[in-house]
Amino acid sequence: MEARVIVTYVVCDDTIKNLKIQEDIQTKMSMAEVMTTGIVSAFLFGGNLENARKYLKESGCIPNMLEKSQLNRRLHKISKEVWDAVLNSLSLGQNINHEFIVDSCPIPTCKLTRATRSKLYSEKKYLGYCAAKDEFFVGLKLHMICDTKGNPVQFMLLPGSENDIKAFKKIELNLPKNSSIYADKAYNDYKYEDRLIQEKQIHLLPIRKKNSKRKGGGFLAKIRKKKRKMIETAFSCIEKLMPRSIHAVTKRGFELKTVLFVLAYAVSRISC
């Protein structure tokens, strides 16, 4: 387990150096140590920051540990761009075939029966439907791109009602040219497929609907279905890291913990 902690710290520290982030010399705890504590809380303690804080201090991994409130404030100050850069560092060089998969997964704050009691996400846009489980939920959707080995490459958190293809269009794709992205039927959009090829030389290859005007059925459909299974496994592994209910007081806190679970899974992929 110490090896995984070390891997997490090294990746975070290298990312911060690559981004040329200057830290105050009087800072008791570095940004890399703060980020490491957050990620460790996700893969060891179900997102419980206090348990991770005590573990890393008592084990001597991070002796100059901040108090809980100070640590929490420092974590919340870290921008999504920095977390994205960490994920990019973790996934760098993992995929040599330039084949990727996109899909979404519900991250509920509560089920529909308890929606009226939800204090975090009470707006209608956070009411979503999960076809795989055939149930409604209140919360967010994790829209993620991973490679065919299950390593997460890019992700975005959006309201639960967000349509998959509309959400996919909001992701600033950072993939190599001539990459292929496998998707399910929800991602059929001929105009956007053509635009991706013209602008970024990226091929979006969704499973075609029965009335589709484009080829993709038969043997091609079987290949795409087989390769798509890996992202379902990835979502399952991320969900296993999560507790039954993610404890958070604010929307920002809920989103931060979700990000940490994704990164914790990414770390497990390279340190297993």
List b or e across 123-132, with b for residues whose CB sees 16 or more CB atoms inside 10 angstroms. eeebbbeeee
pTM of the model: 0.92
Please, which pLDDT band fits residue 216 given cuts at 50, 70 and 90?
A: low
- Per-residue pLDDT tens over the stretch 158-215: 999 999 999 999 999 989 999 999 998 899 999 999 999 999 999 999 988 777 777 6
CATH match for 95-250 among 3.90.79, 3.40.50, 2.30.110, 3.30.420: 3.30.420
Average pLDDT over residues 134-153: 92
CA distances from 152 to 103, 108, 164, 261 (A): 11, 20, 17, 11
In the chain, where the domains are located: 2-78, 95-250
Q: What is the pLDDT of residues 104-132, one digit of tens each?
A: 999 998 766 666 666 788 888 998 888 87
- The Cα–Cα gap between 227 and 247 comes to 34
What is the average pLDDT score of the chain?
89
Cβ(156)–Cβ(141) under 8 Å? no
| Strand runs labelled E in the chain | 99-111, 127-130, 135-147, 152-159, 180-183, 203-206
Q: Where are the alpha helices (DSSP H) in 19-143?
A: 31-45, 49-58, 68-77, 80-91
pLDDT above 60 (res 100): yes
Confidence of residue 271 (pLDDT cuts 50, 70, 90): low
The three-class DSSP label of residue 61 is coil
pLDDT beyond 90 at 71: yes
Amino acid symbol at 16: I
- Asked if residues 103 and 228 have their Cβ atoms less than 8 Å apart, the reply is yes
